Structures are given as structure tokens and as C-alpha cells.
Structure 1
Amino acid sequence: MITWRDRSTVQIQSTCKSLDSMLAEPKDMIAINFLKSNAKMFQETFWLGGSDLAAEGVWVWTTSGQGFTVTDWHTSTIHEPNNENGTEHCLNMNKHLDYEWNDDNCWNENRFACEKP
């Protein structure tokens, strides 16, 4: 896992691509738990490679365009994804939501993880 600090999803997709990698797309609970444990070590929110920019409520991995089959949305205090204010279209593991998945504004700056395909 390669991480940087404080970048929006628009900036980081090109950063990951320049490293012959992509924004992390955890497709099973093993990968989700690996990323979650690393995010907890940094105590930061991390962007993941999911988005519903193309169609609201239809979440896909940005590199492959495939829909999620395994998710970790936060639902205990706030039901995510909620597209608050109509501006949340990118996926993160949010430190304020027990590192579970959250939809957020793509221009917010968070850490991120790149993965090699």
C-alpha cells in the first residue's frame, strides 16, 4: 500500500496511474479488513476507488467500471451512502465512522491507497 496525504480523488487517480497502479478497490472482506487496519494505524480517512458519478446510487469501481459485490457501508449511526447535499459521489473509509465506507465529496482531501493490479 502506497499512501499520500491530502489529495482529492481527481488528483489521486492520475498519481496512482503514474505509478502503474490504481486507487484501491477492495473486492472482498480480506482486502477491506487489510485496508481498514492500515487506515486505523494512520488514524486518517482514506479514499477508495469507488464512485457513483456516472449514475447516482449505482456504485462502481472506477478502473473496471464493475459494480460492488462486497461492501462495508457505515449504517450504525448514519445510513451510508446518503449523498448528503447532492454532492457525495466518491468512496472513502471514514475515520469518524469506524473506518467503514462513506460517500463523500470527491474534492475533499484525504489520504489514499494505490494498489497494483
Structure 2
Amino acid sequence: MCHVRNMAGLELLVLVGVFSVGFGCPNGWLTHNNKCYHFSRETETWLGATRMCEFLKGTLVEIETKDENDYLKQQAKTIGHSYYWTALSDVEEEGTWNWMISSVSVTGDRFTDWMPGQPNNYQNAQECMALDRSQNYMWNDADCKTNYYYICEQSDSPTEVIG
């Protein structure tokens, strides 16, 4: 009987561990308006940054509003690195800037914060967008192969973890 009771307790423990609900952001991530943000401590190319964010169970950041942009700029100023990759790119079609995760274009009435004269596709080699410290972290197009810091995001909504 003792053996059966222990097995039932073990099964219950496994079920509790398998079906759990998590709230909030992972350790080391910052919370703002139901999103979690990770400011990297290392640099990557744009593609490398995309992959690192996926590894961290997030995505490269997509800036949707002025409020979100202001928050990210303030955090970037506090940390102080020169550039941060975001998910905005015109790699699919030159001059058509889309958030690469959601495929949303930044044309029309969508929020943008480009530096004056940007994007300019300098030397036909700038297809990814980074926040640029030299202009108060406004948006600047840059060569996707350059190593920059990056910002990942994920929702801080409740998530059911199975497994």
C-alpha cells in the first residue's frame, strides 16, 4: 500500500508541474504595458538577434506606439549602448518597411520615429532598423550584418505551460 500511495503522490506532483500557469516576465526582463522586454548584453547581427530572441522565447521588438517607443528610448538611455536592433526591415522590398514578425507595414498612419533624412539606404546596404543613440535613440536604417545590441519582447499575459 505504501508503494501505491507514493506513486499517486508522484503522479499528482507531475500533473501540477505539467499544467501550471505563469504570470509576469522572466527574470531579467522589464515590464511595461503588458509586455516584457529584454535588452541584450551582447551584440549580434540582425539575423543573429532575431534568433537569440527566439531562443529566449520572445521576438525582436516591434514598436507599435509612441508610448512604447518612449519607454524603450528611456531604457536604452539608461543602459547607454549605441544601437539596438528592432524587427523593422525593408529586406523583402527596398523602401517598404515592415515589422518582420507581424508583417505590418509602417506606411500611412502607423507610428514611426525616423531620424531626419532616414531611412536613406546608405551605399545600398541598409535594410534593418536600429535605435541610434547619436540621435536620442530615434530610428535609423543600418546594415543588417553589423553587430548591435538588440531588444526582445514577449507578452506578460498569463500563459499555460504544458510539459
Q: Same fold (TM over 0.5)?
A: yes
Which residue, out of 58, 68, 87, partners 2:96? 58
| Structure 1 residue aligned with 2:39 | 3
| Other-structure match for 1:86 | 124
- In the alignment, the residues of structure 1 paired with residue 73 and residue 84 of structure 2 have an alpha-carbon distance, to the nearest angstrom, of 9
- Give the Cα–Cα distance (whole angstroms) in 2 for the partners of residues 97 and 85 of structure 1: 20
Aligned residues: 114
- The sequence identity of aligned pairs, in percent, is 26
For 1:98 and 1:113, the matched residues in 2 are separated by: 16
Structure 1 runs (4+) deviating above 2 angstroms are none
2: CA distance, partners of 1:41 / 1:18: 25
**Match in the other structure for 2:6:** none
Query: Helix, strand or coil: the match of 1:113?
Result: strand
1:24 aligned partner: 61
CA distance in 1 between counterparts of 2:152 and 2:46 reads 12
Match of 1:111 in 2: 149
Aligned-pair distance for 1:17? 1.0
In structure 1, how many angstroms separate the alpha carbons of the residues matched to 2:57 and 2:80?
A: 26
| Whole-Å separation in 2 of the counterparts to 1:37 and 1:66 | 24
Q: CA deviation at 1:3?
A: 2.1
**Rg larger in structure:** 2
Q: CA deviation digits over 1:71-101, x for unaligned, max 9? A: 00001xxx00000000000001101122100
1:72 to 110, 113, 117: 113
Q: Comparing both chains, which one has the higher relative contact order based on Cα–Cα distances under 8 Å and sequence gaps of 6 or more?
A: 1
Deviations 1:34-63 (A, max 9, x none): 110011112121111100000011000010
Q: CA RMSD in A?
A: 0.9
The whole-number CA distance in structure 2 between the counterparts of 1:31 and 1:89 is 22
Q: Which amino acid aligns with 1:108?
A: T
Question: Which amino acid in structure 2 is aligned with residue 3 of structure 1?
Answer: F
Conservation of the 8 A alpha-carbon contact between 2:44 and 2:149: yes
Task: Give structure 1 stretches of 5+ with no counterpart.
Answer: none
TM-score by length of 1: 0.93
SS in 2 for 1:116: strand
- The answer (yes or no) to whether the contact 2:49–2:85 under 8 Å persists in 1 is no
